[in-house]
Amino acid sequence: MNNNGTLTDAPAKTWVHQAARWAIRPLVGSPVTPNHLTTLRLVTGIAAAAAFTAGDSVWTAWGGLLFVLSAFLDRADGELARLSGQTSAAGHRYDLLSDAIVNVLLFIGIGIGLSNSVLGLWAPLLGFISGASVGAIFWVVAIMESKGDMMGALPFSAVKGFDPDDVLFIVGPLSWIDDLISFLVASSFGAPLFLAFAMYCVMRLQH
């Protein structure tokens, strides 16, 4: 990380990061800081999760819009930090904590909102499973980042312009066509599997 206040203009690693970099360039040198964007990301993400709990098609659509905005801001805060030379360990921790809170609440909110769907009471359970798994993944990331040289063991690298968590952007379109059931069911299997794979990679390196 660049902690000395010098401007960094290294290539953005994914397509979404490139778009975020283009969007926030006018903010470089302004009073707006990366932490401001992180806070806005946190607020919009929590609002999205709350909207999903309503289980109403209109609120669900708004939840999808708010979550897409929140996810985009998650990329924008880091790009602003790099472009303006404001990267810091504290800012990174705040960003990671915000990511964890928003993504965990996302699945819980969707699960609660779908409790009146064909999934019934299974929906909140699936939401909890997905959310808990995602929270555990962030916990693994935090532990590995504290060890520094072990981050390479985790399967979180960008491939062909996409990050693994870019898949969450699909929440927006699925909410607008009222098809979050398939997303919740898929995530209840996918998130635990991804967690298991991440832990396997870490344990393999340790041994």
pLDDT tens-place string over residues 19-33: 999 999 999 989 999
pTM score, two decimals? 0.86
Residue 145, pLDDT score: 75
Mean of the per-residue pLDDT values of the chain? 86
pLDDT tens-place string over residues 106-135: 999 999 999 999 999 999 999 999 999 999
| Domain 15-206 CATH (choose: 1.10.8.60, 3.40.50.460, 1.20.120.1760, 1.10.579.10) | 1.20.120.1760
Three-state DSSP state, 10: coil
What average pLDDT does range 184-202 have in this prediction?
Answer: 90
* Dist CA 193 CA 36 (whole Å): 34
Task: Return the closest-CA partner of residue 6 out of 72, 64, 83, 77.
Answer: 83
Write 167-170 long-range contacts (CB < 8 A, 24+).
168/67, 168/71, 168/103, 168/106, 169/16, 169/68, 169/71
